[in-house]
Structure 1
Amino acid sequence: MKVPMLDLSEQYQELKSEVLAALDEVMSSSRFILGDHVKKLETDVATYSNVKHGIGCGNGSDAIHIALQAAGVGPGDEVITTPFTFFATGGAVARAGAKPVYVDIDPVTFNIDPSKIEAAITPNTKAIIPVHLYGQMADMDPIVEIAKKHNLVIVEDAAQAIGAKYKGKSVGELGTAATYSFFPTKNLGAYGDGGMIVTNDDELAEKMSVIRVHGSKPKYYHHVLGYNSRLDELQAAVLNVKFPHLDKWSTLRREKAETYTRLLNEALGEKVVTPVEVEGNYHVFHQYTIRVPQRDELQKYLNEQGVQTMVYYPLPLHVQPVFKDLGYKEGDFPESEKAANEAISLPMFPELKQEQQEYVVSKIVEFFKK
């Protein structure tokens, strides 16, 4: 049996007629940039996030950068975030001219450890970026409290967490702004790049809308240095077809996660650390990530057995070559480094079949027997 990490073909077949009709509508209208499809998606995603504004942009990386720039983050500022995340989180901080300041993660959730944030605050700290990794929101209450105490901006990196909740609150409700990615592999994925920022802040929303179009308002009159980062109509049309299915897909992901956890715990017990959904959280399982000390050997074995897996992420940001000038070294963030050596994500998508999951788990069991 071959089990892919992700298979979007069944989803496409289910939605094919709607998708093609939506794309034809855009092609026939000949309006490809910031049209009605983008406006609809912005409105719907903002409403879904329980906030007032959605600002579509080119991708999830730009979404973070635009949110930081609109919030006034720039040269000389520091932004606290986690080193155990995709490069875009730290990269957006650096592109804004600010300095990424890393703090370690909670080993249970893989998310930023709020108890370590305050010690990293300096007079130059301007913002905090909690990353809602793998589909579960970070512990936001203490982060919000720290931000209020020190007058800091919170930009939630929710690239992997659309639909997740924390104590009944949606992504975007607790921070100054939140950012989504619509990369094709995401829970709500386009057929190319795309992103969005959501916020309740009227002034911030206006600034972000201007920044994404070269900083111009009205057209050809530039008051800030923006850049070209717009969500196009074709991607928005695809996302509008997919969006009504998101909650159903999240439910299916949660069911797949429950199956994995049951099968793994029954067969292997403590040999494998399965994901934990923290009480009060609603985890949307963008990834189903386990921890095993023999991660690399397990990945090699599963690949030989036809099971595709991924490692998110093998090298934390504080030891990435591009950030060497920040002065961090191996050993500075032991939990992040341990996670980078142990975490492995198993196949996860709404259409994943139980027999495929049973096959994956049987091969993990085989590995441990060997």
Structure 2
Amino acid sequence: MEFIDLKAQQARIKPEIDRRIATVLEHGRYIMGPEVGELEQHLAEYVGVDYCISAASGTDSLLIALMALGVGYGDEVITVPYTWISTAEVISLLGAKPVFIDIENDSWNMDPNLLEAAITDRTKAIMPVGIYGQTADMTAINEIADRHGLPVIEDGAQSFGATHHGKKSCALSLVGSTSFFPSKPLGGYGDGGALFTNDEELAKKMGQIRLHGQEKKHHHPILGLNGRLDTLQAAIILPKLGIFDDEIKKRQRVAKRYIDTLSNSSQEVTVPCVTEGNTSVWAQFTILSPDRDAFAARLGERNIPTVSYYSVPLHLQPVFAGLGYKLGDFPVSELVAKQGLSLPMNPYLSETEIDQVCDSLT
């Protein structure tokens, strides 16, 4: 059983992927080739925004967004400690300070009730994360941000394709960011990412930053970086985008089976919750268990793979020790980090495989 089954997906669209790759090999424009612009157009239409700027990775896309907003030394950016390190890493790389607030008990995303108290005169931006496939409460977060005149960058690396009150992830704030890392619901065959906005000037600036700050050939008015998406990755993501909505439906089918099974299980587990107004793309299906390790071992004996994501939250990572946080500062994040266990989740799990997992959960 595959935890994330890229082979089955590739078999489904291999002729189109092969054709797309062959076209790139024929024209030879491996950097900023026509497939990059084509993908950006389709992604912008899919999300429902005016502008999409592709990037070399989801980490680069977050970094580019912060640079475009002028985040720098001495600034503060509010985010959460329960996420992949990229979210806080890019803040620190610019000399700014990550300010953590805890997550909600149900969604495991940023708790808006804790946000306003964390805002200071040094706060430059707010960066919520859409963990495990659904967005944070972007409505509440945006309302608070608007009152304080702060931009919101949505880290939608795991929630791309999900909706919040009918609007797509990455169209919910000033800037949306996503990742095309292979294991993501919409992934390439290497690193990649994208940025989304309706702000024309901001889109222009982010586009310049990902091209070494270049406005036109041999003219670099701002500092940038080498943050371009490879043409080959764009060519691979394009056919994947064509089946993305169907794959989301298949993921939701698997999640429903898991939830129905766990709701009638004798196991002491907490089932993931999709909050009101949200849909999830189920980037992962994560449960909480006080006996996580024993639970994982029992599943492993039945050849069912599991993963414990983010088992050390960011405020307890050595690299962020200088921020002064300690164990107990963010109890919900620490609980989810300690008890979280992700089950196999991909659109191509067979009924037999789903039955195998469900039988092991009862």
Q: TM-score range by the shorter chain?
A: over 0.9
Q: Tell me which moved more, 229-238 or 165-174.
A: 165-174
**C-alpha distance in structure 1 between counterparts of 2:124 and 2:360, whole Å:** 47
Identify which of 120, 140, 143 aligns with 2:141: 143
User: Is 1:318 aligned to 2:315, yes or no?
Assistant: yes
Q: Note the 1:122-133 alignment, pairs <5 A.
A: 122-133=120-131
1:84-103 correspondence runs (5 A): 84-103=82-101
Paired position in structure 2 for 1:329: 326
Correspondence for 1:45: 43
Which runs of no fewer than 5 residues in structure 2 stay unpaired? none
Match of 2:182? Answer: 184
Task: Describe the SS at the equivalent of 2:99.
Answer: strand
Q: Secondary structure of 1:180's partner?
A: strand
Q: Which runs of 4+ in 1 moved over 6 A?
A: none
Over aligned residue pairs, what C-alpha RMSD do you find?
A: 1.0
**Are the counterparts in 2 of residues 164 and 284 from structure 1 also a CA contact under 8 Å?**
yes
Q: Structure 1 residue 299 and structure 2 residue 300: aligned?
A: no
Pick from 156, 161, 164 the counterpart of residue 163 of structure 1: 161
CA distance in 1, matches of 2:299, 2:227: 39
What do the CA deviations read for 1:73-96 (whole angstroms, capped 9, x no partner)? 111110000000001101111112
Q: How far apart are 1:220 and its partner, in Å? A: 2.4
In 1, are the aligned partners of 2:170 and 2:178 still within 8 Å (CA)? no
Which position in structure 1 is the counterpart of 2:344? Answer: 347
Identical-pair percentage: 44
C-alpha separation between the residues in 2 aligned to 1:252 and 1:227? 38
Q: Which range moves more in the overlay, 177-186 or 354-363?
A: 354-363
Of the three residues 6, 9, 22, the one matched with 2:7 is: 9
CA contact (8 A) 2:56 2:192 kept: yes
| Secondary structure class of the residue paired with 2:225 | coil
Q: What pairs up with 1:182-331 in 2 under 5 angstroms?
A: 182-268=180-266, 271-331=268-328
SS of structure 1 residue aligned to 2:203: helix
**Matched length:** 362
User: What is the CA deviation profile of residues 148-195 of structure 1, one whole-angstrom value per residue up to 9, with x for unaligned ones?
Assistant: 111111000000111111111112322110101000111111011110
- The aligned residue for residue 368 of structure 1 is none
Local SS of the residue matching 1:345: strand
Where does structure 1 lack aligned partners over 5 or more consecutive residues? 366-370
State the Cα distance separating 1:145 from its structure 2 match. Answer: 0.8
SS in 1 for 2:77: strand
Superposition deviation, residue 104 in structure 1: 0.3
Q: TM-score, normalised by structure 2?
A: 0.98
Q: Report how far residue 359 of structure 1 moved.
A: 1.2
Deviation of residue 362 (structure 1)? Answer: 2.2
Is residue 80–residue 120 contact of structure 1 (8 Å, CA) maintained in 2? yes
Q: Matched residues in 1 for 2:51 and 2:182: separation? A: 23
Q: Distance in 1 between matches of 2:255 and 2:350?
A: 12
Alpha carbons 1:263, 1:358 under 8 Å: kept = no
Instruction: Name the TM-score, length of structure 1 as normaliser.
Output: 0.96
In 1, the alpha carbon distance for the partners of 2:257 and 2:299 equals 19
Distance in 2 separating the partners of 1:101 and 1:280 = 27
Counterpart-to-counterpart distance in 2, 1:55 and 1:184: 19
- Residue 281 of structure 1 aligns to a residue whose secondary structure is coil
Code of the aligned partner of 1:262:
D
